Every structure is written in C-alpha cells, then in structure tokens.
Structure 1
Amino acid sequence: MNRLQTELNRLYLPNDRQSEGQDSANAAHHLINADGQVRAMVVEITQPTGWDGVAALWQGVQNELDLPAPAIAVSGINAYQVWFSLSAPVSVTHAMDFLALLRLRYLGPIAPRYIRMMPTADAAAPQHALHASMVPALQTETGHWSAFVAPELASMFADEPWLDLPPNPDAQANLLSRLVSIRPADFRRAQEQLSLANVPSPQATLSTSTPTADEADKVPGKGPATAEVDTDPKRFLLWVMNDPAAELRLRIEAAKALLPYFEGVSHRCTGRPDPHHIPSPDLDSNEHKGSR
C-alpha cells in the first residue's frame, strides 16, 4: 500500500472496505460499507458557479461550524468537489441529511442543477446508494485527471477543473496528510447548529399565510428569483417548498419549518387562542422599566 492509499483509507474508506480499495481505488462502492454506512461525504459544484460555491462552503464549515477543513478536489470534468471525512461511519440517510443542511446554509443562491451531493439514493434501485468516484483518477470521457488541490491554489482551476497529467501520488498524499476527520460529537453539534440556522427566527412576523404579490414573483414558476429570496428566511423557505426541482425531502422540511408560523396566523384570524403562543413580558411593568 502506497502513501496515497494509506491517506485515502485513513480519511474516507470504511474499515471493511480498506483492503478492497487497494486494488480499485476508483470504485465508488468502496466508500459505502456492507451495512450501508459511509465516512466520506462529497459536495460537487459544477461550472459556472463552482469556485464561488466551494469557497463559501469551505470557509463556512470552518468559521461557523468549527469543523476541520475538508479537502478540495477538481473532478477532471467540469466541477469542484468538497470532501468531508468522518472518523466514525454514519448511515447514508444521515449523511444525506447533513449534506442537505449544508446546501441550505451555504449554497442557497446556487441552482440545484449545479449541485450534486454524495452519497445519494439510486433512483433505479432505491435499496442501494450511489457515491462519488475516488480521487485521483483518469476521467475517460475527457482524458483529464481528477485530483485533490491545495486550498490556496484551488481558485486557479475555476475555468479548467482538471489536470492534464496524472498528479504525483506523494504530492496528493501530502495534501491529505494535513486533514483530520470530523469527530462524532462535532458532527452531531454541527448538525444541530445547522438545523437551528435553517429555521426562521421566532421573531419573524407573518401578516398572512399566503405569499404577497411581491413574494409570488419570487416563487418558482411565478417569475425570476432575486437575491432577496436568499436573505429573507420566510421567502427562502417558501421558495424551497414550491420548487419542483428540489428534492422532496427538502420541500417537506421547508414546509415543516413554516408550519408553526402559518398555524399562528390561523389562530389570529379565527380568534381562537394559539396553544403554542408564549406571552411576551410586559415591557411597561415596573420590573422592566429600569432596564430600558
């Protein structure tokens, strides 16, 4: 086993697949163990938005979530990839949920057609899952190579996300040797933090349960989206919920996040008390006057 394969095993391959990966490192199924669990999670962002999305994601997971830096790779075709490593395997479903939260948090402005998240369900065989091909590898359809790249040099590949020649294995191993895997406790903490970050603030107010004319223009199928959709939590969730191109799971989660606010509107309109309402403190009472 060479140094590169040792690093790939350390970061991405489940324990029961590591010996198999020595002979065919490009086989994507080696990233999923016999129990349907993974240690590698990959986000692929294609041109023309590849580098901007990668930069936002790569910096965000470190600055906001306090997670170790993931690896950055060029696909050898038309995309960047961000490779996350887990120290302990999780189920494919758990990995997919985490990637969906990352997408909502950091890649909202990018159209879904430019993003692939792996592992992912296999539409042709729902009981199975698909994963990314290992890096580095020759891409037969283009004749170019995929490769891990140094973060400080990654932007140079924005127009051509590939290598013309095979990367040096020792150089690839050196890049990977600097990376550490996400520990289980940190993975759970980050997932909880992302879940909270993707829910509208409790202070958000809704005057109606239906979108305004201005909002309707920003719902898919009703008109062009604008940057405002991504900065207003309610509008963004409405956009996700009504986007037929979005994954059904994401649309359901968006609807669940919006439900409490629509329920509150319903109670106000009917005059019935809202069982979920928590009265705010009386800011005119004597005990609060001193703190104004």
Structure 2
Amino acid sequence: MNRLPSEWRRLYAPTAPGPGPGPGPDAATQADPIDGTNLVDAQGRVRALVLQLGRPADWSALSRVWQGVQLDLAWPAPAIAVSGKDGYQLWFSLAQAVPVAQARTVLTAVQARYLGDVAPARVDLWPVTDANVPQGGRHAPVIPAEPDRPEHWSAFVAPDLAPIFNDTPWLDLPPNLEGQAELLSRLVSISFTEWEMAQAQLGVTMVAQPTTPTAASPQRSAPATPATTERAPAVSQSDPRRFLLDVMNNEAIEMPLRIEAAKALLPFVPPN
C-alpha cells in the first residue's frame, strides 16, 4: 500500500484528519489528495506554507530558515524538498487551517527575519493571493510530481542529504514513494499555540489569528487598542481584502509586511 497520500493529507490537506478511524486504507489510496488544488479549501484556508529559495539553489542560506524556525520560534522541523528545477523548498504544516492572507503575512515575516540579505526575486512564497480563483488563493506545485524536463524530479529529501543537491536540485529518477512517505511520517504540524506565539515574535500578532473559536483568547491578545483587537479575527476569517488593508495601514507592523500586503491587494483592484 502506498502511504504517501495519507501522510500528505495528514500534514497538508486544509482539513486535518480527526483522531478517529478513517474510511479505510483503500479509500486513502483511491481518494488521492496529492493535488495542488486540494491545498486551498473552499473558504480560502490552508495548512501548508511553502518557502522556496532558488535561482540558484542555496542550501547554506535556506538552512538558516530551517534551523531558525526550530530554535527561535520553537516550530517543528519543516519538510525539505528539491523543486526539480532551480531551488530548495521548505514545507511547513499547520495543525489548524488559516486564511491565505494570514499565512502569507507570517511567511513573509519569516523571510524577512532569516533571508533579509537575499534578493527578494530569488524567494517564492505560497500560498499566493489570487482573486481570480474561487477560493481566493493558489498554492505551490505538489511534491513529488511528474517533471517538466526528463530526469528532473521534485522530491522531499532528508536533512542530512539536502546539501548534496545544491548544484542539481532534482532527482534523476522517480523518487521511491515509500521513502517519501517515511520522510513525511517523521514530521509533525505546528500547533495553534506554537503558531500564535511565533506571530508575537514576528510582530504580526495583532492582525493574524488562526481560524479557530479559541483564537480570540484574551491571555494572548496583542498590545493593541480594543478596536483593533476585536476586529482582527473577523477580518482575517471572512474578508481577505479588509485584512490586507488593515495590515497595510497599521503603522505598528514592520514595513516589509505592509509592503507585502500592498502587493497582495493588487488582484483585488478593479481594472480601469
């Protein structure tokens, strides 16, 4: 039996599987979740966050992110992947789905913290806000996937093997699916508490709250005015445009995040 679909769903599907018994092994294999359209749900929420560094690939730089989020933010290790083209990727898994705009804001803060000396054109972040699709966002191509070029397979790789792909960030042969599943089986998702505490460290707590009934817990409220604290969860859950406007106009938020919010608003601007 191929375990990869179930491991993929456990980590990255917008709705995390519950603790009870599932539909059975056959259903897990037949209802193959390894499809990029499944990474953003109908409400525009995600559990997968992807940061790619390429053009060229540079593990020495990306390893700062991989190590830093574990040491500084107390996040579990993200999956490491080679893109099959020209870069490395880190795949983060959230225990609870969050809106696309919120996910991107936090991921942008991670980029600013650990890759501030890297040219922005070399970094790609997913999900991407897109008002032209029903769910309001697009996600990264799945890993592993059929290559665009022969002998250029994308794949998840073990941390100790990541450096050897620096010059050739791909596999020459199709990755072993059981091996891919085994790599994912060792990973765990970022918990709600870890996600919320990291937002405070990254300076985005006031406007970025996960979509959960406990998100407005008073003991974790940011040092903001009552109006800001009360409005933020509703904006992030139901109105991506309003959420982005609040980020862009909030002077308490770091400038790189406000600039990113302004860029993300472009698809919402009607053509002349």
Q: 1:157 aligns with which of 150, 165, 174?
A: 165
Could you state the TM-score of these two structures normalised by the residue count of structure 2?
Answer: 0.68
Report the secondary structure of 1:35's partner residue.
coil
TM-score (norm: length of structure 1): 0.64
Q: How many residues end up aligned between the 2 structures?
A: 209
Provide runs of 4+ in structure 1 moved above 3 Å.
16-26, 123-127, 246-251
Q: What is the match of residue 255 of structure 1?
A: none
CA distance in 1, matches of 2:78, 2:43: 25
**Structure 2 alignment gaps of length 5 or more:** 205-253, 265-272
How far did residue 250 of structure 1 move? 7.9
Q: Is the 8 A contact 1:21 1:30 kept in 2?
A: no
Q: Report the counterpart of residue 36 of structure 2 in structure 1.
A: 28
* Stretches of structure 1 lacking an aligned partner (at least 5 in a row): 197-236, 252-292
Q: Contact 2:57 / 2:86 at 8 angstroms: preserved in 1?
A: no
Q: Is the 8 A contact 1:44 1:82 kept in 2?
A: yes
Q: Are residues 6 and 125 of structure 1, via their aligned partners in 2, closer, same or farther at CA, if it must alter by over 3 Å?
A: closer
Amino acid aligned to 1:43: L
* Contact kept? 1:14, 1:31, Cα under 8 Å: yes
- Residue in 1 that maps onto 2:246: none
Matches within 5 A, 1:187-198: 187-195=195-203
Please list the CA deviations of residues 263-284 of structure 1 after superposition, one character each: whole Å capped at 9, or x if unmatched: xxxxxxxxxxxxxxxxxxxxxx
1:183 is the counterpart of 2:194: no
Alignment-derived partner of residue 77 in structure 1: 85
Quick one: structure 1 residues 188 and 21, their matched pair in 2 at CA, closer, same or farther if it must change by over 3 Å? farther
Give 1 or 2 for the bigger CA radius of gyration: 1
What is the 5 A alignment of 1:212-291?
A: 247=260, 249=262
| Corresponding residue for residue 11 of structure 2 | 11
Q: Which amino acid aligns with 1:2?
A: N
Which residue does the alignment assign to 1:43?
51
- Say which SS state the counterpart of residue 15 (structure 1) adopts: coil
Deviations 1:193-241 (A, max 9, x none): 1118xxxxxxxxxxxxxxxxxxxxxxxxxxxxxxxxxxxxxxxx88x59
Query: How far apart, in 2, do the equivalents of 1:191 and 1:78 lie?
Result: 30
Give 3-state SS (helix, strand or coil) of 2:7's partner.
Answer: helix
CA distance in structure 2 between the aligned counterparts of 1:31 and 1:96, rounded to whole angstroms: 14
Give the Å deviation of 1:172.
Answer: 0.8
Q: Secondary structure at the match of 1:40?
A: strand
Which residue, out of 181, 188, 195, partners 1:173?
181
Structure 2 CA distance, aligned partners of 1:178 and 1:35?
A: 29
SS of the counterpart of 2:190?
A: coil
- For the structure 1 residues 129 and 14, does the alpha-carbon distance in structure 2 shift closer, same or farther, using more than 3 Å as the test? same
| Change over 3 Å in CA distance of 1:127–1:149 after alignment to 2 | closer
What is the distance in 2 between the residues matched to 1:125 and 1:40? 18
Q: Which residue of structure 2 lines up, in the alignment, with residue 93 of structure 1?
A: 101
Q: Match for residue 135 of structure 1?
A: 143
Stretch moving more, 112-121 or 12-21:
12-21
